[in-house]
Amino acid sequence: MSNSGNYEAVAADIKKLLHQPEYDDGSAGPVLVRLAWHSAGTYDAETDTGGSNGAGMRYEAEGGDPANAGLQHARTFLEPVKEKHPWLTYADLWTLAGIIAIKEMDGPTIPWKPGRTDYVDDSKLPPRGRLPDGAQGADHVRFIFYRMGFNDQEIVALSGAHNLGRTHKDRSGFHGPWVPNPTRFSNQYFRLMVELEWKPKTLDNGVKQFVHYDEDLDEELMMLPSDLALIQDKEFAPWVKKYAADKELFYRDFSAAFAKLVELGIKRDESGKIVNADNVKGGYIS
Ligand code: DDH
């Protein structure tokens, strides 16, 4: 068992579990990033409900949301870390794991602060339907992300996480990866969105997505309708092009937006301590 507050030891243990030869593309990284995002992306600024505090996905109301299908794999990967460091909250573990995974997959360093609580406040529970639907377009994407307090530039930056991982028919109904190397973070998602021709395709389950056949890979790459909405919308498109052209700018903006994402709904005092949590801890990882 590690000493309470030893986040460096936790980070080291998260790094060790990323390599998963039997799982997807050999990495737990992408699904851990999605767990961090979905734990936080339920936030509603107006009612101050949802967000990563409370780790509500442990319970059926949130964990059983069809939008969270598949994330039990991520939670299961992390369980040994929680067992080894029982002082750590799930809410901190899930957000930290996403950040460590991004960094280990060649992504940017994202500032992270601990102190989230696992205390579930029933009045703060998010209803289902707060996470985005890939079948929809720009209006829906704006509706979802404005609710959290993000602007158009931040929405495009965050969407660059689709450099990682893949869609699964048995989880979302969609199929395939966005890029040829889905365990390496980069701005390739934006480059491919701009450069390639994307053809509509209806899968045998009736789900509609866009595809580009990659000859070297002998596999179809995919884009969600909500992904291509970014290049079709006149406010989003300039940011897609900027991030396609400038990887450093993308890394900087992605880091800032993801750091903001995992802090949604969390109020800290000047020293960084969370004031709306019941089991506040100190310490930082940067
Ligand atoms: Fe996503 N995402 N996401 N996404 N996402 C899926 C997979 C992954 C949408 C839909 C889907 C973000 C935004 C959006 C990741 C990170 C992020 C899948 C496939 C769907 C569908 C699930 C499955 O079948 O397994 C939509 C819609 C949006 C939107 O913005 C409108 C954001 C903001 C992030 C982020 O991390 C900041 C990652 C990583 C994956 C790959 C997961 C995996 O298992 O691999």
pLDDT digit string (tens) for 98-148?
A: 999 999 999 999 999 999 999 887 777 899 999 999 999 999 999 999 999
Gap between the Cα atoms of 66 and 68, Å rounded: 5
User: Which ipTM score applies to this complex?
Assistant: 0.99
Residue nearest to atom 28 of ligand 1 (CA): 132
Helix axes 225-232, 152-159, angle to 10 degrees: 130
- CA separation (Å) from 64 to 34, 72, 78? 15, 10, 18
The yes-or-no verdict on residue 278 having pLDDT over 70 is: no
pLDDT digit string (tens) for 216-257?
A: 889 999 999 999 999 999 999 999 999 999 999 999 999 999
- For the chain, give the percent of residues with pLDDT over 90: 87
Residue nearest to atom 34 of ligand 1 (CA): 161
175 SS3 class = coil
The yes-or-no verdict on residue 281 having pLDDT over 50 is: no
> Quick check: CB of 31 below 6 Å from ligand 1?
yes
Gap between the Cα atoms of 123 and 264, Å rounded: 16
Q: How far is the CA of 123 from the centre of ligand 1 (A)?
A: 27
* Those residues with Cβ within 8 angstroms of residue 203's Cβ, 6 or more apart along the chain or in another chain: 169, 173, 174, 175, 209
Which amino acid is residue 58, in one-letter code? R
Pocket test for ligand 1, best of 136, 162, 210 (most atoms within 8 A of CB): 162
pLDDT band at 271 (very low <50, low <70, confident <90, very high): confident
Task: Tell me phi and psi for residue 231, to 5 degrees.
Answer: -85, -15
Pocket test for ligand 1, best of 102, 167, 209 (most atoms within 8 A of CB): 167
Known catalytic residues are 38, 178
> Quick check: CB of 38 below 6 Å from ligand 1?
no
Gap between the Cα atoms of 250 and 15, Å rounded: 24
pLDDT digit string (tens) for 29-85?
A: 999 999 999 999 999 999 999 999 999 999 999 999 999 999 999 999 999 999 999
Gap between the Cα atoms of 246 and 248, Å rounded: 6
Residue nearest to atom 45 of ligand 1 (CA): 165
pLDDT band at 279 (very low <50, low <70, confident <90, very high): very low
* H-helix or E-strand spanning residue 201: strand 199-202
How remote is the C-alpha of 157 from its chain's centroid?
12
- CA separation (Å) from 73 to 17, 24, 63? 12, 11, 12
Which amino acid is residue 105, in one-letter code? M
Gap between the Cα atoms of 138 and 203, Å rounded: 22
> Quick check: CB of 226 below 6 Å from ligand 1?
yes
> Quick check: CB of 172 below 6 Å from ligand 1?
yes
Domains in the chain, start-ordered, CATH in brackets? Answer: 7-131 (1.10.520.10), 138-252 (1.10.420.10)
Residue nearest to atom 23 of ligand 1 (CA): 167
* Those residues with Cβ within 8 angstroms of residue 262's Cβ, 6 or more apart along the chain or in another chain: 36, 40, 52, 95, 98, 99, 112
Gap between the Cα atoms of 278 and 125, Å rounded: 16
The yes-or-no verdict on residue 274 having pLDDT over 90 is: no
The yes-or-no verdict on residue 3 having pLDDT over 80 is: no
